[in-house]
Amino acid sequence: MKSVLSVLIICLIFPFQSESQSCTTLGQTPSTAFPVCGTTTFKQSTVPICSTNSLYVPGCTSSTTANYANKNPFWYQFTCFQSGTLGFTITPNNISDDYDWQLYDITGLDPNQVFTNQNIIVSGNWAGNPGPTGASNTGVPYIQCASPYDGTENRFARMPNIIQGHTYILLVSHFSDSQSGYSLDFKGGTAVITDPTDPKMWRATPSCDGQQLFVKLNKKMKCSSLAADGSDFKLSIPGINVVAATGVNCNNSFNLDSLVLTLSAPLPPGDYFLIIKNGTDGNTILDNCDRGIPESDQIPFKILTKQPTPMDSLVPVNCAPKDLTLVFEKPIRCSTVSPDGSDFLVTGPVPVTITSATVECNANGTTSSIKVNLNQPLVKGGNYQITLKNGTDGGTITDECGMVTPAGQSVSFSLKDTVNADFTYQIGLGCRTDTIQFFHPGNNGVNQWTWNLADIGTSSEQNPVAYYHLFGPKDISLSVSNGFCSDSVSATILLDNMLRAAFQMPGTICPEDSAVFQNQSIGKIVSYLWSFDNGITSDNPNPDPQKYPMNGVESFYNIRLIVKDAQCADTTIKPLKVLNSCFIAVPNAFTPNNDGLNDYLYPVNAFKADGLEFRVYNRAGQLLFSSTNFTEKWDGTYKGEPQDAGIYVWTLKYTLRDTGKKFFLKGSTVLIR
C-alpha cells in the first residue's frame, strides 16, 4: 500500500506528462453531457482516457503544482426544479481509484464556458486519496485541493445549495488511468432535479410534399428510445404508414426534442392525427427518467391544399415605429427577399421610405418573419398600408414549398400621433404658502396625465394646482399618453421666496460682558429690525455687541429680530440671561432633600471655566463624584446610595477664559440631611 500511495503522491504533485488526447466519446465533453434524472444511478463500466483543457479550481490553482484538468472526464447536466441542497456520491468500481469532481452553474451559458469562466464554479473536491467522493452533510465547506495523500483529506464537500430554474453541469474526472469505471447517484439533498413534466408530443408540422412530418416534443427525451423504423408512431388515415424516424441532433447528443418522420406515401390535403404507440423496441419515446409518452397520445395536424402563403399578419406596431415585422404561416425562402426592401411599399398620411429588409434564416435557408426597415420613425397618426410588390430581383417572395405570394397583397395598420409631455406653469408666491398652477395643452389626443408634484404627491388632472408650505427646489415630472403613444418630462422649479429670521447668541452672559449677535437669516431680505430689550434697536444685519445693566440680581431679556422681503415679514425671539455674578465658587453646604433648594453640590457660575475638573471625596479619600462639566452636579449619592451627612472634600481645577490664568482650589462642604 505504501508504494501505491507514493505513486499517487507523485501524480498529484507533478503535472501529468502524457500528450493531450481529444475526448470524442459522448458524455466526455460539456456540450454532450449526460442528461440527469435525479432517480437514476449512472454506472460507467469504463472511462475512456482523454484530456483537452486545464481547469481553474478556486483556492487551489495558484497554491499547488497539481495539474487540474478534465482528465478522463464524464459530464452530467441537470436543471434544478426546486431549490435546496444537492447531494451525490461517486463510488469507484475499484476502491483504490482516485476520482475528482467540480460543479458549475451554466444557466443561460454555453456549456464550454466551464473552461474559461471562473465565476460559474459552485463546488468541487480534488483530494488526492482514493475512494468514494461527492457532496454530503458531513463534507468540508470548501474545495479540497490536490495534495500528497496522508489519509486525512476529506473526499466529500458540504452539499451546495442550488437554485430553482438554474442549469448545472457536473464534471467527474478520473485521475487514475485504470478505466475501471464508477457509479454515480444523486441522493441525500433537498433539491429536486427530476423533471416533473410528463412526456408528450407537442406539435407536428408536415413537409411541403406531405411525405414527412416534423415532430416537436414537450421536452428533451432519450435518443436511444426512438425506434428508427418509425414503429413508435401511426397515422389516423389507413394505408399510409410511418416507415422511418430520425432524431434531430442524436448523432452528438443523448437526447432530442425534435424528430423527423418519413411516411410511406404523401398525404393528401385534409385533417389528421399522429398517434404514438409502443414500437418494435417495446416502448414509446422515454424521457430521461424512463417515463414513456402514454400510448395513444395524439396530436392533430393539417395538410393544406397547395396555395401561396398570404401576406396577412403584422406584428402589432408600437408608437413611432422605425420598422415593421411581417410574419407568415409558412417559412419563406430567404433568397427571395430583396435586401433593399423593394418587395414592399408603405403608404399612409405621409410619404414613407423603406431602406432595407432583414431576415433571420435557419439552417434550411428559410425564415418565418421579415423586418421592413424605414428611414425614420412614423410619428404621424392615421391609417397605413404595407403592400407586397415585385422587387428589384424581378419577383415577390416564395415560401418553402415554392409557392409565390402574388404582388398586390397588403396589410393595414393604424397609428396615433406622438405626444409631448412638455408643460408650463405659473407661480404665485406667498408668505406662508406658494401656489403653482400647471398647464398641459393635451395635444394629439392626450387623455392620460400622471403628475409627480414633489412634496404633495401625485395628480391625474390635466392642469393641477399645487400648494407648497415648504419652499425651495421642487422636482416635478409629468407622463402623458393618448393610449398608444406616451412621453415623459421632468423639471425643477425653484421656490426661492423662503424668508426666515434667525440669529445666534449666547444664552447666558456675565454682567460685565457684552452679548454678541450673529445674523443667520435667509431670504431676499430688504430690511432688519433688532430689539435688544435694553432700550436699543438696530437695522444693521450684524448689530454691535450689547451691554446690559448690572442690577445685582439675575435678569432676563428678550432679543427680537424682524426681517422683511418685498412682501412678507418673519420674526424670531430668543431669551438672554444676565447673571448677577460670574464669581466661581463652591457652596460650603448643601441639602440633597429634593425640595428644589440647594439640592446639589457644583461650582457655581463656572461659565468661563475652561478645562474644568471638579471632584468630591469622602473623609476616607474615596472618590465619590467627578465631572468636567459645571452643569453636572453631585446629588449626594454614590453608586445610587445616599451618603451620610457630614463633611466632604472637593477639588476644583480650571483655566479662566478671560485671562488664561489657571486655578486649583480645594475645600470642604457639609452635606446636611
pLDDT, tens digit, for every residue of 159-202? 999 999 999 999 999 988 888 899 999 999 999 999 999 999 99
Whether the predicted pLDDT of 417 surpasses 70: yes
Last residue of a domain, one of 475, 495, 515: 495
Same-domain pairing of 137 and 25: yes
Identify whether residues 50 and 152 lie together within a single domain: yes
- Residue 581's pLDDT band, with cuts at 50, 70 and 90, is confident
**Cell, residue 462:** 390635466
| Domain identity same for 280 and 215 | yes
Residue 584 lies in a domain: no
> Range of 654's domain?
589-671
Question: Which pTM value belongs to this model?
Answer: 0.53
Q: 213 and 323 share a domain?
A: no
In a shared domain, residues 400 and 342: yes
For 371-397, what is the mean pLDDT? 96
Whether residue 517 is found in the same domain as residue 375? no
Q: Between 81 and 1, name the one with better pLDDT.
A: 81
Structure confidence at residue 8 as a pLDDT band (50, 70, 90): very low
C-alpha count within 13 angstroms, C-beta hemisphere, residue 577 = 9
Mean pLDDT of 203-222: 93
pLDDT band, very low/low/confident/very high, at 464 (cuts 50, 70, 90): very high
Question: Is residue 635, in this structure, part of any structural domain at all?
Answer: yes
Instruction: Give the C-alpha separation, 100 to 130, whole Å.
Output: 9
In the sheet with 201-206, reading across from the earlier edge strand, the strands are: 201-206, 212-222, 255-263, 242-247
pLDDT of residue 625: 97
Span 323-355, pLDDT tens digits: 999 999 889 999 999 999 999 999 999 999 999
| CATH number of domain containing 617 | 2.60.40
Please state, in angstroms and rounded to a whole number, the distance separating the CA atoms of residues 33 and 27: 4
Asked whether the beta carbons of 487 and 320 are under 8 A apart, the reply is no
The contacts of residue 594 (CB under 8 Å, 6+ apart) are none
- What is the Cα–Cα distance from 155 to 132, expressed in whole angstroms? 7
Quick one: 21 and 139 in the same domain?
A: yes
Convert the pLDDT of each residue in 74-104 to its tens digit.
999 999 999 999 999 999 999 989 999 999 9
**Type and span of the H or E element at 285:** none
Which cell numbers hold the place of 203? 406539435
- Mean of the per-residue pLDDT values for the chain? 92
Evaluate whether 368 touches 359 at the Cβ level (below 8 Å).
Answer: no
Q: Is 31 helix (H, G, I), strand (E, B) or coil?
A: helix
Spell 21-39 as b/e; 16+ CB within 10 A means b: eebeebbbbbebbbbbbbe
Range with the poorest average pLDDT among 19-28, 72-81, 501-510, 594-603: 19-28
Cα-trace Rg, the chain: 45
Rounded Cα distance between 339 and 321, Å, is 19
Whether residue 193 is contained in a domain is answered as no
Q: Which three cell numbers stand for residue 194?
A: 427530476
If asked whether residues 42 and 155 sit together in one domain, one would say yes
pLDDT over threshold 80, residue 226 = yes
Q: Does residue 503 contact residue 531 with C-beta atoms inside 8 Å?
A: no
Domain-located, residue 308: no
DSSP state of 445: T
For residues 571 and 599, membership in a common domain is answered with no
User: 194 in a domain, yes or no?
Assistant: no
Residue 102 lies in a domain: yes
Task: Give the CATH number for residue 369.
Answer: 2.60.40.1220
Instruction: Encode pLDDT of 625-659 as tens digits.
Output: 999 999 999 999 999 999 999 999 999 999 998 89
Q: Which of 357, 300, 299, 359 is nearest to 331 (CA)?
A: 359
Query: How many C-beta atoms surround the C-beta of residue 220 within 10 A?
Result: 19
Residue 307 pLDDT greater than 90, yes or no: no
User: Is the pLDDT reported for residue 13 higher than 80?
Assistant: no
Q: Is the pLDDT of residue 3 over 90?
A: no
